[in-house]
Amino acid sequence: MNSRSYKSRLRELVRRREFGIFIIIVIVMVLVGLRNPIFFTGDNWKDMLMYASILAFISIGQMMTIVTGGIDLSVGSVVALSGMSVGIIMRDNPALPPVVLILLGTVFGLGCGIINGLLIGKGKVHPLITTLATMSIYRGLVVVVSRSRWVVYGDITKGFKLIARGNILGINNLMFAALIIAVVSYYFLNHTRKGREIYAYGDHQEAAKFVGINSTRINILVYALSGMLAGFGGVLWVSRVHTAQANTALGYEMQTIASCVIGGVSIFGGVGSVFGVLLGTLLFGIILNSLELIGIVDFWKLSVQGFIILVAVIFDAVLSHRVAEQMRKQRRVFDAE
């Protein structure tokens, strides 16, 4: 009895969309760890998770836009704009407490996101085009507000450095933030009306309209959230690397999109989970931050990264296809009975 429920629970686990990516993560971990045991040290994991944390919550914002069938290409620029603005404000007012700076950065991001949302929701401009345009606009604004000067190590106050390095309840602040955001997003997406509406809207936009889901509001909501998370991430980013530059987070949108897709988010909308995105970013963290440890020439690392991603996605697709097949067979058996 007990073993049966254990078995069925295991089967349940295997059936989950995220299982494939989980397997890949374990395989990569074992392989890297075998080549270099340093991989399993706490220090390495801390570095890796600090990197993955920022990516994780910005990817969760990205996921919400992708679930609605859209995309947010402007996140990298928003990270840079928020980070640069906050850096400059800090340089001019070193006495400002870090909490105020975090709030400011988040509000900047929110503002950028709302502009995206209004253009997409009210203006009915395609998300791809809207955010492609705002990506350049926000990036341009970074150069403008910085007046082509970097925010450098000496400009960053002690308190601000501690944002990324301090701990809450023994957990690094970045990981703590990512964890809280993941839990809240999970609850929001799965257990609130608005959250379910996002999925419903992404699954079938026409049908959603008929059941009274307000598409404008959904769009404004998801892009505002995505922008807000990116703005928050920008502050943490600057705190982590001690500097803000014009090319900060250039190309970052691709990493967030890749994390989503690896984590099982359907690019066609309607499908995706917070848990999957977390696994996706974890895989990214491992392959981007631990390939140094396996001692291959740097030229090859990029190819190896791409290869791992490709294997992960193919493995995931094959597995989910097989699971779907099985479910269909079971249903047939059930119907026959």
Binding site for another protein (CB under 8 A): 36, 38, 43-44, 47, 51, 115, 118-119, 122-125, 134, 137, 139-144, 146, 148-150, 152-154, 165, 237, 240-243, 245-250, 288-293, 295, 298-299
| Cβ closest to another protein, residue 213 vs residue 236 | 236
> Can you spell out the DSSP letters for 121-139?
HTT---HHHHHHHHHHHHH
| Cβ closest to another protein, residue 68 vs residue 255 | 255
Picking from 176, 166, 167, 156, the residue whose alpha carbon sits closest to that of residue 96 is: 156
Helix residue ranges per DSSP H, 36-123: 42-67, 75-92, 98-121
Inter-residue long-range contacts of 10-13, CB under 8 Å, 24+ positions, other chains counted: none
| CA–CA separation, 246 and 139 (whole Å) | 8
Minimum Å gap between C-beta 173 and another protein is 14
| Cβ closest to another protein, residue 54 vs residue 66 | 54
Partners of 244 in the beta sheet? 151
Minimum Å gap between C-beta 165 and another protein is 7
Minimum Å gap between C-beta 63 and another protein is 22
Minimum Å gap between C-beta 234 and another protein is 12
Q: Which residues contact 282 (CB under 8 A, 6 or more apart)?
A: 25, 52, 56
| Cβ closest to another protein, residue 200 vs residue 250 | 250
| CA–CA separation, 59 and 254 (whole Å) | 10
| Cβ closest to another protein, residue 274 vs residue 282 | 282
Minimum Å gap between C-beta 139 and another protein is 6
